[in-house]
Amino acid sequence: MTDTRTDRNTGQQATLEPDRQEQREQALTDRVIDSFATAPNPRLREIMQSLTAHLHAFIRDVRLTDAEWEAGIQFLTDVGHITDDRRQEFILASDVLGASMQTIIVNNPSDGAVTESTVFGPFFVEDSPQIPLGGDISGGASGEPCWVEGSVVDAEGRAIPGARVEVWEADDEGFYDVQYPDGRVAGRAHVHADAEGRFRFWALTPTPYPIPHDGPVGRLLAATGRSPVRAAHLHFMVTADGARTLVTHIFVDGDPQLEIGDSVFGVQDSLIKEFARQQPGTPTPDGRNLGDIPWSRTRFDIVLAATGDRE
């Protein structure tokens, strides 16, 4: 049995033999899969053979045209060109495709006993300033002050003294410090929990903001009718001896963007926290004088998995 179809590359009619065409396509897939059969690392062999099978299945499923293949190659080329030591467009692409979040879910099964993880994001920077408990991470970044406090414990509820609590966030203009050209360090710092596992610091009340959308990932979102806006959040990375590193955020309860959607699919219900609004003049927990400006406060109690758990 034959089938007449329009070739999407040439626009010409072509008479095909479906069974023969399918055999040709499958034969190529099989040859490529077999080419990795002698890979000495069994895990690499498994990954490359599965990747090949799924990639070829995608190409065959959508009947990918030459022009579409070239557009995909150009997209990856553009992502590479815009990536540097201050901007990671590959992570951004992974985020908006949900690949980052899916990897996190696969590697961090949720049993309700420990704090859930979410996306790392492209704006983490090593060697952030250390501030004392009760210090201010803002470093001059603009925004409404926010008091953040909480504790770090293990799955049995035992305090983890000295846990390192790393935090970073955007200012109220929607920019991280690394997005400014002047080399500033703002909106990021770390503290160490006290002997009872408690931490506290001043930050900024998170606000929604768009991920960088002036590059290839932004063009992809625009072409597909998707918003680049992220739900308001504050980043955390928590580390301690004997504990699995936690990378997560907390989100602002009542943020309208939660209903619209987070552009990188990072929201977990357990990470939505109340940021209680405080009127000007309301006494602060540490006696700080904020004058006539409003502020907010929130609490985030963190439960870390032991090293080796969930692996």
Confidence band for 111, pLDDT divided at 50, 70 and 90: confident
- The whole-angstrom separation of Cα 83 and Cα 182 is 19
pLDDT at 8 (0 to 100): 59
Average model confidence (pLDDT) across the chain: 93
Residue 122 makes CB contacts below 8 A (sequence gap 6+) with 87, 88, 89, 91, 92, 95, 212
Task: Report pLDDT digits (tens) over 189-220.
Answer: 999 999 999 999 999 999 999 999 999 999 99
Helical residues (DSSP H) of 180-215, grouped into ranges: none
Residue 223 corresponds to which tokens in the numbers above?
């072409």
Domain ranges of the chain: 3-64, 92-304
Confidence band for 5, pLDDT divided at 50, 70 and 90: low
Confidence band for 85, pLDDT divided at 50, 70 and 90: confident
pLDDT at 311 (0 to 100): 44
CB-CB neighbours of 270 under 10 Å:
13
> Bridge partners of 32?
none
Confidence band for 12, pLDDT divided at 50, 70 and 90: low
pLDDT mean over 43-49: 98
**Phi, psi at residue 259, to the nearest 5°?**
-80, -35
pLDDT mean over 23-40: 98
The region of weakest confidence among 39-53, 221-235, 256-270, 296-310 is 296-310
pLDDT at 18 (0 to 100): 83
Residue 2 has pLDDT above 80, yes or no: no
pLDDT at 1 (0 to 100): 43
Residue 11 has pLDDT above 80, yes or no: no
Give which of 176, 187, 192, 178 is closest to 132, Cα–Cα.
192
Confidence band for 17, pLDDT divided at 50, 70 and 90: confident
Describe the crossing of helices 216-223 and 66-82 by its angle, rounded to 10 degrees.
140
Task: Report pLDDT digits (tens) over 239-283.
Answer: 999 999 999 999 999 999 999 999 999 999 999 999 999 999 999
pLDDT at 310 (0 to 100): 47
Confidence band for 77, pLDDT divided at 50, 70 and 90: very high
CATH of 92-304, one of 2.60.130.10, 1.10.3720.10, 3.10.105.10, 1.20.1090.10: 2.60.130.10
SS3 (DSSP) at 195: coil
Residue 4 has pLDDT above 60, yes or no: no
Q: Are 207 and 174 in contact (CB under 8 A)?
A: yes
pTM above 0.75, yes or no: yes
- The whole-angstrom separation of Cα 266 and Cα 301 is 19
- The whole-angstrom separation of Cα 99 and Cα 303 is 25
Q: Are 208 and 233 in contact (CB under 8 A)?
A: no
pLDDT mean over 14-31: 88
**How open is the CA angle 73-22-75, to the nearest 5 degrees?**
10
